[in-house]
Amino acid sequence: MDQGAAIQMLLNRVAITDLIHAYCFHFDRNEPAAVAALFSADAVVDYGPEVPDLIGAQAISAAIASGLTKTFAATSHHVSNVTITFDTPDQAHSICYLYAWHRYHNGAPDGELWGQYHHRFAREPDGWRISSLVLKAAGSQDFHRATMHPIGRR
Amino acid sequence: MDQGAAIQMLLNRVAITDLIHAYCFHFDRNEPAAVAALFSADAVVDYGPEVPDLIGAQAISAAIASGLTKTFAATSHHVSNVTITFDTPDQAHSICYLYAWHRYHNGAPDGELWGQYHHRFAREPDGWRISSLVLKAAGSQDFHRATMHPIGRR
Amino acid sequence: MDQGAAIQMLLNRVAITDLIHAYCFHFDRNEPAAVAALFSADAVVDYGPEVPDLIGAQAISAAIASGLTKTFAATSHHVSNVTITFDTPDQAHSICYLYAWHRYHNGAPDGELWGQYHHRFAREPDGWRISSLVLKAAGSQDFHRATMHPIGRR
């Protein structure tokens, strides 16, 4: 890789990581339109087997808005272990870890989730977007969903 | 941005991120002078509405030393979601997430905080320093403060 | 540092960070051979005073396989605060924070650990490897080990 390509790849890593962070930030502030704006127009979000796939920014925004209004009184999505792989200079996928804390409107005990986001990203004319997101769980406690995609532990 | 400026920006990101990490490391080891040395001489720290702003390295060191000696038996400050924006090549601000665990001297249950640090940074002749820090909370459990700056959830 | 050296250092930081993440990912998926492959042939792992040092990839793989099979039903290792220092272009050390969640086969309450990994890394002909790992604890709750290396709080 020449120097220019290496620098561009490093800048792309920053942009993609910031995109993951922006998802958490806007989700936790209950800004569903700002969350949806991070996704490609035809993006697919899979939050688990209990929920139909969300397809497209409109569906993503509506589903997130509903959860943020009806289910959650407060949330905090802490992502780490962000590991990015470039498939082409304009397409990438990543795995990151998620430790998410949830406070519920219904007064149930706070829910905790220890899991992973598996993302795909595409670079569009005005910047990187999330093209797909799959949520997987290593485990949870007092979480509002009983069944999640597993992380694939043997 | 030319290649030299891009490389310098990437190196500055590393330096700023390491500064945030050094704050946590020295705080958790009860090294208040080392924490204070990470701040500009006229830095402002706002830990919340229950505490007067700390202004200047001397006040920061004294307040942290007091808390670390009297209140906390152990702490662990896990920062993630570090998102840095450069205002000029020598000034930046950032938001990062904080998951902080606290064990108390008084035997109260361990306190947990899910929140954010909002930082400002300035590059001084001998390197980057924190020029301001505001702590905001998404939520907490068994934490020793009842009222915190909110993260701004709608 | 010239531009080429700076770019190489930044790429090395990515490779080392990804190595730490791969350790967590393969550990949490119960893939002990994949964990062991991240270490140098003569690497040393020190999980604490209750456990003899593990020396070499074979010993590391065997010990991890045993724990993952007999002790843990599920784990999630969230690393953050990754701070890397290069000793030479081919040798580095780092401190990162660990928030680890453990579910046990024996039905004991989930164990939580708030601590640090202290790593050393060496660049071998086919890439970076972990040459040593020491686990230190700031604190824990319901964890299966009573005594850990402390983080050095005063």
**pLDDT tens-digit series, residues B10-54:** 999 999 999 999 999 999 999 999 999 999 999 999 999 999 999
Q: Is B137 helix (H, G, I), strand (E, B) or coil?
A: strand
Helix (H, G, I), strand (E, B) or coil at B26: helix
SS3 B70: helix
Instruction: Answer whether A74 sits within 8 Å of B138, measured CB to CB.
Output: yes
Distance CA C48, CA C58 (A): 19
pTM of the model: 0.98
* Pairwise CB contact (< 8 Å): C103 & A152: no
B151 to chain A: which residues are within 8 Å by CB?
28-29
* ipTM surpasses 0.95: yes
- pLDDT for the residue A1: 77
Residues A43 and A133: beta-carbon distance below 8 Å:
yes
Least CB–CB distance from B99: residue in A21, A25, A99: A99
Nearest to A27 by CA among A60, A98, A76: A76
Does C31 contact A at CB distance below 8 Å? yes
| Distance in Å, alpha carbon of C9 to nearest chain B alpha carbon | 10
Asked if residue C1 has pLDDT above 90, the reply is no
Amino acid C88: pLDDT: 97
Q: Does A29 touch chain C (CB under 8 A)?
A: no
Residue of A nearest to B141 (CA): A110
Name the phi and psi angles at C80, rounded to 5: -155, -175
Size of interface B-C (CB pairs under 8 A): 64
Q: pLDDT tens-digit profile of A99-114?
A: 999 999 999 999 999 9
Q: Which residues of B touch A13 (CB under 8 A)?
A: none
Q: Cα–Cα distances in Å, from B130 out to A23, B21, B39, B125? A: 26, 12, 4, 14
Which subunits sit against A, judged by 3+ Cβ pairs under 8 A?
B, C
Picking from C3, C80, C141, the nearest residue to B80 by CB comes out as C80
Q: Is C25 on the interface with A (CB under 8 A)?
A: yes
Kindly report, residue by residue over C94-124, the tens digit of the pLDDT.
Answer: 999 999 999 999 999 999 999 999 999 999 9
Chain C residues in contact with B72 (beta carbon < 8 A):
none
With CB atoms and an 8 Å threshold, state whether B6 touches A3.
no
Looking at CA atoms only, how far is residue B15 from chain A in angstroms? 15
Q: Look at residue C72 in the predicted model and tell me its pLDDT.
A: 97
